[in-house]
Every structure is written in C-alpha cells, then in structure tokens.
Amino acid sequence: MSNKMKTVTVREFYHNAGLIDGLAEGKQLLVTASGKPKFIVTRSPRPRMTRKLAQARAVGSGARRKFDGTAFLRLLKK
C-alpha cells in the first residue's frame, strides 16, 4: 500500500465537495494552488452522542415544569 496523500488543486476542491466524502477516516487530502501546498484536509471520525454531550446541547433547564400545550390551547379558547 502507498502512504501517499491524495493531492488536488483548489479549483477541484471547491468544485467537487464529494472528495471529502470519499476520504476514509484519518486519511488526508492535500490542496494545492499554483503547485504549492495551501492546506490539508483530514477526515475525522464522527463524534458519538453521549448523555453528557446531549445534556450540554439541550435547550432550557431540566428544573422547569413541562409545558402542557393542550392545557394552554384550552385557556385560549375560553
């Protein structure tokens, strides 16, 4: 197997976003402009949702009362 990193031009990179999707996890893509390296793109593994991460991303606090939409609509009808 070759350890060579795939190289593409800036133009190819911006016109073909699927290049990143085609990379395996941990593999790199070298993007060049005028034959000189500009930047390297590395495909990272997708983060797994954990309980701690879900709680950090949750909107609102758990201490609040639950909202009863049906009861609210009944109040509006009165």
Stretch (H or E) spanning 25: none
- Burial of 19 per CB tally in 10 Å (0-12, 13-18, 19+): middle
**pLDDT recorded at residue 1:** 43
Q: Which residues contact 29 (CB under 8 A, 6 or more apart)?
A: 5, 6, 7, 8, 13, 19, 20, 23, 40, 41, 42
**pLDDT recorded at residue 3:** 58
Q: What is the domain range of residue 14?
A: 1-58
**Per the domain annotation, does 31 fall within a domain?**
yes
pLDDT tens digit at each of 78 positions of the chain: 445 788 999 999 989 878 888 888 888 999 999 999 999 988 888 778 888 888 777 776 666 677 788 888 888 887
Domain tally for the chain? 1
**Per the domain annotation, does 12 fall within a domain?**
yes
**pLDDT recorded at residue 33:** 93
